[in-house]
Structure 1
């Protein structure tokens, strides 16, 4: 049972993350969080030798969390590959991946999140020192900086809640 997860909300009711029951219990007992009853469900009961602690499936932090201190990661190979799901943004291949500047650096393109994509060697050499429009290649999705992890988690959480209600 201690491997179950509890959804943690910020003071502003933004879903931040999931924590295990043990961590949720520590937050509740220390007064750093309070139970939230979005969907009325039976809480999990954690028993100690002398007490029984109800642990809800959703808790809200009463203290400020570190959600504001997140910084956009640097543009590097590992982060670009992660953002693009290890797929070429021109053909979808997962073999022999490289980084490609959509607008080549020789043409004034910058090494920024909205100009660097993952490309396989074949597409990268085919594109060469030109823009995708000049070669007739299309990007699968517009490159952008990775979103804040709390925003990603919140989006996923609300999608799951919508599916559960249907």
Structure 2
């Protein structure tokens, strides 16, 4: 049996009306969406049900819900290339050595050699690696990047990608 506080710590995946996984909400928000009719329960691959009790009602909240309302989607733009956004994308880790100390920004292809100030050319680097690389490309300096550089993606798309990856891993575990 699960305690009330454990149930209230659970989260529920919210799908759009078109079945795109959009986000995770806490169980209180999920209950509000279900009771007001803004969402309906989904049973994908026999998902879990969380039992929530009040003095007059027992509510079974599914692990996944689908919005029944169609709202206008907010317009999302790729953020500008600046220190805060690059640090966020790179998770505050040097993309050459993995350090989290004394971080700076580095142009992979130096601007003096025609490199652009773009998402595909700017990385987080610690001062040591940035100095070591200097005005050279990573290949010339004998350094390699830890990740492929891309612009940040829409938060809903990123969430959906991660969600389906986890579903796939869980299905593979069940097959073993």
Same fold flag (TM > 0.5): yes
- Residue 88 and residue 32 in structure 1: after superposition, are their counterparts in 2 closer, same or farther (change >3 A)? same
Q: Please point out which of 75, 95, 98 is paired with 1:92.
A: 98
Match of 2:9 among 3, 19, 33: 3
Relative to 1, partners in 2 of residues 1:72 and 1:16: Cα closer, same or farther, differing over 3 Å?
same
The yes-or-no answer on 1:139 pairing with 2:159 is no
Unaligned runs of 5+ in 1: none
After TM superposition, give the deviation of residue 98 of structure 1 in Å.
0.7
Which of residues 103, 111, 122 is equivalent to 2:117? 111
Range with greater deviation from structure 2 (42-51 or 88-97)? 42-51
Question: Which secondary structure state, in structure 1, belongs to the residue aligned with residue 117 of structure 2?
Answer: coil
Please state how far the C-alpha of 1:59 moved relative to its aligned partner: 0.4
Q: How many residues align?
A: 166
**Residue 23 of structure 1: CA displacement?**
0.7
Pair 1:16-2:19 in alignment: no
Shift in Å, 1:6: 0.9
Classify 1:56/1:84 alpha carbon distance in 2 versus 1 (closer, same or farther; 3 Å): same
Assess, with a 3 A threshold, how the Cα gap between structure 1 residues 2 and 153 changes in structure 2: closer, same or farther: same
Instruction: Check whether the contact 1:10–1:65 (CA below 8 A) recurs between aligned residues.
Output: no
CA contact (8 A) 1:90 1:137 kept: yes
Alpha-carbon RMSD across the aligned residues, in angstroms, is 2.1
**Partners of 2:72 and 2:138 in 1: CA distance:** 40
Q: TM-score, normalised by structure 2?
A: 0.82
**CA deviation vs aligned residue, 1:37-73 (integer Å, no higher than 9, x gap):** 1032463233333333321111001223565522222
Contact 1:67 1:150 in 2 (8 A): no
Q: What TM-score do you get using the length of structure 1 for normalisation? A: 0.86
Aligned to 2:61: 55
The alpha-carbon deviation at position 84 of structure 1 amounts to 1.5
- In structure 2, the partner of 1:124 is 130
